[in-house]
């Protein structure tokens, strides 16, 4: 037996060496004198540090850091410093080695990057999220060194590629976090290939059935697709060759995730998505003529196929903020099928796939890209300026601003500015300057007077109108979408509140002395609690605004005399969130939903109306017990990503005796008696009761919403299949409850 183990160990040693050599080979193009030795040193330290550790799959742990370093070198195009940090990224977290040791062995820069990659450990209060805090820490380092995020993305990509061996709840947590934060981040940095893979793998684990179905349909339709692409490119190819252009034409299917999004957002089945693939024409041309050559190719393509005027996207004249440059058009191809055509140069193609990390190759272009990157990092620094901000709010702002689609607007002097989609006139004012934002009373958009909340469109020209008397108001927070504007408004309101609070504190102290009541922290908090206010500061602000008088203080005194210590006793019995989690999870780590309610108070969440048979999880809330959500609920990604420790696995017991409300949407051709036929199918179905039914007809078509009580998903699916067979019905789909 021992002999076998020895052979395994030897085989593993050989495999580790093989992977290490593959890494060195990938680093070849960036290696400078002495780099090989530094990488070797990092590899040996990592090998020693992780020698007794294994991954969930049973493989030696060292495979992971080598794989992450390989992704950094090969797929992102990073150099020696990043490879060293990737090899060491888990060492500080998993062993006794400190950041000081790293600094001594490799240098300050390496220690700083690894610090950004090391998770925060420690206990946070009830409402905070450890994941959000870790993400914020990583971004703090990002504002000094972009490589932190690039290595983190490589780490996440390898984890996603090897997620199979993890338990289902871990898979859900990691995949949700990936879709919620890391895929958008890869997109923002222009790492298109990595973004696409992260999204597809995220979907594979959050919605495996949907993923497998789309994958199967793509494979099934591949031969037909290839035939169509060949037919499409024959005339274009000949003409491009005659024009003397060097080019290659690729036909590639859209990613599974983007197809899923179209199915979900547009409500169309797979078969009806017309642009399942894009044809990419990549031309090899010099930087001086690349713009003109791309338009030449566009002209040749549209000579053969009619373009759709609404679907022309010119990201060559104005690249996206993540540096993406390309010309996109959708044309009517053979057999009456729409086809998306992307036209770009070799340089643009490489930058689109590898993003900012690839621009070292294109030095003449580097300065401009560098300044775009600097602008982006500057925005992050601004976001990080208010350290007391809740980490979850911070991440929401971060996502909203840095991953949103962009619009281009102009100042009165013609200077172009980039803002996220849905930005308002007030956002623009704060983008110009904080003081202009704070004093803004309105704006002129394209010479017409508009209110502060007016949403801007690409191409608008905006002139801000200010007044010296204006100050930021609470309701302004509802008028803005950019983190910069939100942060500045919050800071101004906070300052105002602080002033008012100090005023109020002095006034309240006088009122307490007048009522012969000690001005202690306990009495202040009790008074705030008596008035149902959330904090002492809130109390002081109200006092300053004249909303609390002496009569109220005296009423509080009388109330205090009646029940001296009831509140304290009640507070002692209030379980903490940690106790609730432990009580709910118990030993089995699984919440069983069914007739024996386990003495646990749970509610079915209204945002996704789960019914038995749905893949569900429990989320422990602070005030409302446990809420049950469907795994594909719109809010699930955010909850699983940021509050994994409050997620409880849940499954259904047999539920024959109970009925649950579910919604069905039916569309079709408005024929005589169709509503009658639909209701007949429902009432003939065993044990199905209708709660409500509503039909709208419009020019010969109808859309109906039916709320029915069913036992479980099987019951609902059977009913929907029967409805699909009713003549005149086109689509039947499940919707969330409309109470």
Q: CA separation (Å) from 101 to 7, 83, 104, 325? A: 35, 18, 5, 43
**Cα–Cα distance, 477 to 427 (Å, whole number):** 10
* Close Cβ partners of 243 (under 8 Å, ≥ 6 residues apart): 296, 300
Task: Find the length of the chain.
Answer: 739
Q: Is residue 94 annotated as part of the catalytic site, yes or no?
A: yes
Catalytic residue selected from 44, 94, 100, 506: 94
**Cα–Cα distance, 476 to 489 (Å, whole number):** 7
Structure tokens at 387: 């350290």
Burial of 155 (0-12, 13-18, 19+ CB in 10 A): buried
Q: What are 629's strand-pairing partners?
A: 617
Q: Which residue, 619, 611, 614, is CA-closest to 640?
A: 619
Structure tokens at 252: 């590639």
Q: Which residue, 153, 252, 142, 251, is CA-closest to 194?
A: 153
Longest dimension (CA), the chain: 98
CA angle 649, 172, 204 (to 5 degrees): 135
Element spanning 349, H or E: helix 346-354
At CB < 8 A and 24+ separation, what contacts does 595-604 make?
595/653, 595/655, 595/657, 595/658, 596/653, 600/625, 600/626, 601/625, 601/626, 602/626, 602/627, 602/628, 603/627, 603/628, 604/628, 604/660
Element spanning 690, H or E: strand 689-698
* Close Cβ partners of 198 (under 8 Å, ≥ 6 residues apart): 153, 156, 157, 160, 178, 179, 182, 183, 186
Identify whether the C-beta of residue 279 lies closer than 8 Å to the C-beta of residue 311: no
Structure tokens at 350: 């490489």
Identify whether the C-beta of residue 705 lies closer than 8 Å to the C-beta of residue 663: yes
Identify whether the C-beta of residue 176 lies closer than 8 Å to the C-beta of residue 641: yes
Q: CA separation (Å) from 167 to 68, 162, 172, 206? A: 22, 12, 9, 13
Identify whether the C-beta of residue 251 lies closer than 8 Å to the C-beta of residue 277: yes
Q: Which residue, 678, 673, 730, is CA-closest to 708?
A: 678
Which residue in the block uniquely carries the two structure tokens 């340089």?
A: 347
From the CA atom positions of the chain, what is the Rg in Å? 30
Q: Is residue 460 annotated as part of the catalytic site, yes or no?
A: no
Catalytic residue selected from 93, 374, 385, 475: 93
* Close Cβ partners of 368 (under 8 Å, ≥ 6 residues apart): none
Identify whether the C-beta of residue 343 lies closer than 8 Å to the C-beta of residue 298: yes
Dihedral pair phi/psi, residue 609, rounded to 5°: 35, 70
Beta strand ranges found along 558-677 (DSSP E): 590-593, 602-604, 616-620, 626-630, 647-652, 660-669
Q: Which residue, 494, 496, 491, 507, is CA-closest to 539?
A: 507
Active site positions, annotated: 93-94
């Amino acid at each position: 037996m021992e002999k076998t183990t020895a052979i395994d160990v030897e085989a593993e040693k050989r495999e580790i060496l093989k992977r290490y050599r593959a890494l060195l080979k990938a680093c070849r193009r960036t290696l400078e004198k002495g780099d090989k030795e530094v990488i070797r040193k990092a590899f040996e330290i990592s090998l020693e540090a992780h020698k007794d550790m294994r991954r969930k799959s049973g493989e030696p742990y060292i495979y992971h850091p080598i794989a992450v370093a390989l992704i950094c070198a090969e797929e992102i195009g990073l150099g020696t410093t990043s490879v060293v940090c990737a090899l060491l990224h888990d060492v500080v977290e998993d062993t006794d080695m400190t950041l000081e040791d790293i600094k001594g062995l490799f240098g300050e820069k390496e220690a700083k990057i690894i610090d950004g990659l090391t998770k925060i450990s420690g206990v946070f209060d009830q409402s905070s999220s450890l994941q959000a805090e870790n993400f914020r820490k990583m971004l703090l380092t990002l504002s000094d060194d972009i490589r932190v995020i690039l290595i983190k993305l490589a780490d996440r990509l390898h984890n996603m590629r090897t997620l199979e061996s993890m338990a289902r709840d871990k898979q859900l947590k990691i995949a949700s976090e990936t879709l919620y934060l890391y895929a958008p981040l890869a997109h923002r940095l222009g790492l298109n290939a990595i973004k696409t893979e992260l999204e597809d793998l995220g979907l594979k684990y959050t919605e495996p059935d949907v993923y497998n179905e789309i994958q199967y349909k793509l494979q099934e339709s591949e031969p037909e697709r290839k035939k169509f692409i060949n037919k499409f490119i024959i005339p274009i190819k000949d003409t491009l060759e005659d024009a003397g252009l060097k080019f290659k034409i690729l036909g590639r299917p859209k990613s599974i995730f983007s197809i899923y999004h179209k199915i979900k957002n547009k409500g169309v089945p797979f078969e009806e998505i017309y642009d399942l693939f894009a044809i990419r024409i990549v031309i090899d041309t010099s930087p001086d003529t690349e713009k003109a050559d791309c338009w030449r190719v566009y002209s040749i393509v549209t000579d053969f196929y009619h373009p759709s005027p609404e679907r022309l996207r010119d990201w060559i004249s104005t690249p996206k903020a993540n540096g993406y440059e390309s010309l996109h058009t959708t044309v009517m191809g053979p057999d009456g099928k729409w086809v998306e055509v992307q036209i770009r140069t070799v340089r643009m193609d490489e930058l689109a796939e590898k993003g900012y990390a690839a621009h070292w190759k294109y030095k003449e272009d580097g300065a401009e890209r560098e300044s775009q990157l600097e602008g982006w990092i500057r925005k992050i620094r601004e976001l990080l300026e208010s350290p007391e901000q809740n980490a979850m709010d911070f991440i929401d702002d971060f996502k909203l601003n840095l991953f949103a689609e962009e619009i281009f607007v102009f100042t009165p002097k013609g200077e172009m500015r980039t803002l996220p989609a849905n930005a308002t006139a007030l956002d623009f004012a704060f983008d110009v300057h904080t003081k202009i934002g704070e004093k803004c009373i309105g704006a002129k958009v394209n010479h017409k007077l508009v209110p502060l909340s007016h949403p801007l469109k690409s191409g608008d020209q905006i002139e801000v109108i200010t007044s010296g008397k204006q100050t930021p108001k609470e309701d302004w927070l509802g008028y803005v979408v950019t983190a910069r504007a939100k942060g500045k408004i919050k800071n101004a309101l906070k300052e105002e509140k602080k002033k008012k609070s100090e005023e109020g504190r002095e006034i309240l102290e006088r009122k307490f002395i007048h009522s012969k009541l000690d001005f202690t922290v306990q009495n202040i908090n009790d008074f705030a609690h008596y008035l149902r206010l959330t904090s002492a500061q809130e109390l002081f602000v109200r006092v300053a605004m004249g909303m609390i008088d002496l009569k109220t203080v005296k009423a509080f005194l009388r109330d205090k005399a009646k029940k001296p210590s009831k509140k304290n006793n009640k507070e002692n019995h209030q379980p903490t969130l940690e106790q609730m989690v432990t009580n709910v999870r118990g030993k089995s780590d699984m919440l069983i939903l069914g007739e024996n309610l386990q003495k646990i108070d749970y509610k079915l969440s209204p945002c996704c109306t789960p019914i038995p048979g749905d893949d569900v999880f429990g989320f422990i809330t602070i005030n409302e017990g446990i809420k049950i959500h469907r795994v594909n609920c719109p809010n699930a990604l955010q909850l699983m990503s940021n509050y994994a420790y409050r997620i409880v696995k849940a499954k259904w017991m047999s539920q024959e005796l109970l009925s649950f409300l579910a919604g069905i949407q039916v569309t079709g051709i408005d024929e005589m008696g169709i509503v009658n036929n639909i209701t007949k199918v429902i009432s003939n179905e065993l044990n199905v009761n209708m709660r409500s039914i509503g039909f709208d007809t419009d020019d010969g078509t109808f859309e109906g919403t039916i709320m029915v009580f069913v036992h479980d998903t099987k019951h609902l699916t059977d009913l929907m299949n029967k409805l699909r067979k009713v003549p005149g019905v086109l689509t039947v789909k499940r919707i969330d409850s409309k109470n």
